[in-house]
Structure 1
Amino acid sequence: MKRLLLGCAATLTGMIGYAAIDAAMAQTAPESPGSITVRLNGRVNWYAGVEASSVDSNSSTGNKTSTDNFLGYLRLYPGFDGVASNGLHYGAAAEIRINGGQSAGNETLYVFQAYGYFGLPQIGQISFGQENGPSVIFETGTFEGFNDGGWNGDIEGMIPTVANPVYPFPDSGSQYDQATSKIVYLSPTLAGFQFAFGFTPNQTAENYTDAPTSVTTPIIGGQPRNLLDIGGQYTKTFGPLGVQIGADYTNAGQVAYNGGPTTSVTAYKDLSILSGGATVTVAGFTFGGNSSYGAFNMADGDTFTLEPDAGTKALGWLVGGQYTAGPLVFGASFFRFTDTGDLPGGVDAGSGATITPAGLSTGQQQNDGVAAGATYTLVPGVSLFADYLYGLRQQGGYDFETGDAGTAHNYVQSQLFGVGTQIQW
């Protein structure tokens, strides 16, 4: 999710609804020059849901998973913001998460984001550390402000991973543009326009320096390096009409493979992603969408990888709408994402399936997702959710159950009904 930056970023709350989900991360301007504001914000989320998917019973292993479950987590947002007597804004912020262990004894805390910043309102801000890049800051039209965030929430964690349709938008890829160490320049807002530029030398965290430029063991999916990210956003109100438009371009090279012959995929295209979105808000209604296109791949989960040389360009798009009436927000969205897809780990000899000479399955992967629901603000800091999710995934020649090439389980679907709450301070 995005963080709100300084106060020089003009936003329309109804159009960036998901920002309220992580309002605890917002920087708080000190009252006067020479003062510092220290904070320790946080939130506790809890969900109850019932899901059904094609892989609740795994025929290859004989295992079955529960279709009803509870899910929850804690996040903490420590930080401080200051203003020097000369007008310099400065500060630091972090996001601390739990690791999702299966028992309380296995739960640990880890640093997901940690960054500092310096800025002057008239010239902009420089930030540095594990933080969001422009592709996240200016992402527009993904409609994550109702229920738990659509398909970019957390309740879908109750669905088996291979049955979760892959959500193609940048802020879902934690290693791509949320938790890697980078430097970002954010401009002030002028006549509704704002832009940013980011540079990520390696896909590493702040405390890790041994980043490879070439490897002898193949990195499955490839690994970007020297990532450049430039984006912008226009936000304006025309009488009763609010308009927001965002766009971003990301490009990166890659870690080279210099080992010997192997059956693994080793040849990838450099990362190149063009994305953009727009929303229109009037009388409490917001409509719009987002699209992302380029040389990248996403197989399972939220990890952006590189497009194999013999693969195909990825294309994701989403359309949605929501309505805000006081403390109540209703919304719905639909997305479709096609890409090269999963790389088979082997061949199911009994199925007659084959892997292409490039190490790929015989079909491109398609992911569809429908999200609908509502969010109700009970009291300040307390929200209640109602969720419905439906998703499907298909990839010719790839068995989602086994992870190998095969003619079975090339198509999986899932749906979930759930409720939940978020309490933040």
Structure 2
Amino acid sequence: MRKILLGTTAVAGAALLAPAAFAQAPVTTAPGSLAGNNQVGTQGVTAPSPAIAAASGLAVRIGGYFDFSAAMIYDDWDQARSRVQGGAANGGAANAQRRSRYDFRNDLELYIFVDGRAANGMTYGANFEFQMDNMGGAGAAGSNGSGSGVDLDEAWGYISFPNLGTLQFGQQDNAASQLQVRAPSAGLVGTDGDWYDFIVTAGLFSGAYIASGINDGNDATKVIYLSPQFAGFDFGLSYAQNSYEGERQDQPTSTLAQQRDRTALENEMSAALRYRGTFGPVGLNAGLGGMWANSGALTGTGAPTGVSRQQNVTAYTAGLTVSAYGFAVGGEFTWGAYNGSSVGRAALNPGLDDSYHWVVGATYTMGPLLIGANFAQGVQDNGTCRVGSAGPLCAAGAAGSIRSLPDRTHTIWGVGAVYTLAPGLALYTIYQNVNDENIPTSAPGDARYGGNGTTLATFNGSNTRTINVGMVGIRLAF
């Protein structure tokens, strides 16, 4: 068995592989890559961009990607009847008509890598990631009013010793997110892929998908330890005191105003164990990860939440991929006490059962061409409603009685292809289909703990939202 050595730092590995590669054998993670799971092999890897020597003697490199795509979208929430139901939150009015089915999209990020090496072999540095797809309107924070605002997605430093591992600190993904193993996919096709950028979610709870990977810790300021690799195994641990960036601002419209107010998740911990190895022509990648956090203990005024306090968050994920002879197949299973589209970011209200989802996927690499497909299903508890409250399922029965609601059941599948036209330049196409049953209009609740419980949305007379997205695009990764 060939041992795969961990790179000296996650930063250096990401910088090296950012030009994008499309082989089936996963080795490490590359920002901006179109390879499935953002895990890439050795095919198509080019040398990193030349480093610039800073005055301090540190090496500075620039990377990133630019992506342009066109899409055709069919979504039940775009139809006139659904827009009227959603009201102002969904851009609807009494005389509403459906949205356009066609659109273009830009997406781009810029990475700055700063690396240094001491005489004793220690490596150190920092990574800054700027995302330039902030679409806030005029006057919105981080926006210049043109729909192309820039914000700082991540910013973190690191210190690494070859035999001791790497310490990261700052706004970076948690350990479980960095080491998770996800089902293979091709390009932007995926259970939480970029097709989502074309989908409207206003007026509905959470996003258009619930089968995502374990959350990244919201890029909250945290400390992370990543071990070296021993006989194919490595592990990681991370901790964040609060959910935000540690910069207190008493601005009512800013989420930073919640810092230290104990209204959001706190004491977030995560851990993960991963194995990577090869057995002749067969590559194996397996992982297990989890995260734990306390839910908000206080209201915005500082009063205890009492009996209505949300459950503490737990989330677990297990994944396995096998690759050989150009093929890669695998899957993942994720479960825990959470809801919404970001696994482990939204706490369950009292009385609700745990959520779960599973994903399977496969890819095949033939020269510069990568094709792939995936299928997934997720289930989340919708709790109860009080008879006489909003929604057709709560209309009939003894007034004030409690009725259990069907679970939200989310089924999604897709196919895609990526063609490497030149080093760092790829063409891609995807088709994604989503059937989302029993979507709540706000965070699900149990009426036994007060209020009317959960209200479910309807789509043209049905409780199922159907989404179809076809995309073609071109991406330059550098």
User: Structure 2-normalised TM-score?
Assistant: 0.74
**From 198, 207, 211, the counterpart of 2:259:** 211
- For 2:64, the equivalent position in structure 1 comes to 42
**TM-fit CA distance, 1:65:** 1.1
- For 1:415, the equivalent position in structure 2 comes to 468
- For 2:142, the equivalent position in structure 1 comes to none
- 1:315/1:350 CA distance change after superposition, 3 Å: closer
Cα distance per residue 1:280-329 (max 9 Å; x no partner): 0010100110111111111x578820112211111111001001112111
Structure 2 counterpart of 1:197, one-letter code: L
Residue 273, structure 1, aligned to residue 282, structure 2: no
Structure 1 counterpart of 2:196, one-letter code: E
Structure 2 counterpart of 1:284, one-letter code: G
Q: How does 1:155-166 map to 2 (within 5 A)?
A: 155-161=195-201, 165-166=208-209
Checking the alignment, whether the CA contact within 8 Å between 1:227 and 1:252 is kept in structure 2 is yes
Residue 112, structure 1, aligned to residue 153, structure 2: yes
- For 1:152, the equivalent position in structure 2 comes to 192
**TM-fit CA distance, 1:134:** 1.5
Q: How does 1:123-142 map to 2 (within 5 A)?
A: 123-142=164-183
User: Structure 1-normalised TM-score?
Assistant: 0.83
The structure with the largest alpha-carbon Rg is 2
Q: Distance in 1 between matches of 2:164 and 2:305?
A: 52
Checking the alignment, whether the CA contact within 8 Å between 2:438 and 2:457 is kept in structure 1 is no
- 1:268/1:180 CA distance change after superposition, 3 Å: same
- For 1:251, the equivalent position in structure 2 comes to 292
Cα distance per residue 1:145-176 (max 9 Å; x no partner): x12142333233112235964243345x4xx5
Residue 284, structure 1, aligned to residue 326, structure 2: yes
How many corresponding residue pairs? 404
Q: How does 1:319-398 map to 2 (within 5 A)?
A: 319-340=360-381, 349=390, 351=392, 353=394, 362-395=405-438, 398=440
Give the 3-state SS of the residue equivalent to 1:256 in structure 2.
Answer: coil
Q: Distance in 1 between matches of 2:324 and 2:240?
A: 38
- 1:327/1:380 CA distance change after superposition, 3 Å: same
Structure 2 counterpart of 1:203, one-letter code: S
Percent identity of paired positions between Structure 1 and Structure 2 = 24
**TM-fit CA distance, 1:213:** 4.8
Q: Which moved more, 1:253-262 or 1:113-122?
A: 253-262
**TM-fit CA distance, 1:30:** 10
Give the 3-state SS of the residue equivalent to 1:329 in structure 2.
Answer: strand
Give the 3-state SS of the residue equivalent to 1:290 in structure 2.
Answer: strand
- For 1:218, the equivalent position in structure 2 comes to none
What is the alpha-carbon root mean square deviation over aligned residues? 3.9
Q: Which moved more, 1:114-123 or 1:361-370?
A: 361-370
Checking the alignment, whether the CA contact within 8 Å between 2:352 and 2:383 is kept in structure 1 is no
Checking the alignment, whether the CA contact within 8 Å between 1:314 and 1:338 is kept in structure 2 is yes
Which structure 2 residue ranges, 5 or more long, are not aligned? 1-8, 41-46, 85-91, 139-144, 249-255, 443-452
Checking the alignment, whether the CA contact within 8 Å between 1:127 and 1:183 is kept in structure 2 is yes
Q: Which moved more, 1:176-185 or 1:127-136?
A: 176-185
- For 1:182, the equivalent position in structure 2 comes to 222
Which structure 1 residue ranges, 5 or more long, are not aligned? 216-222
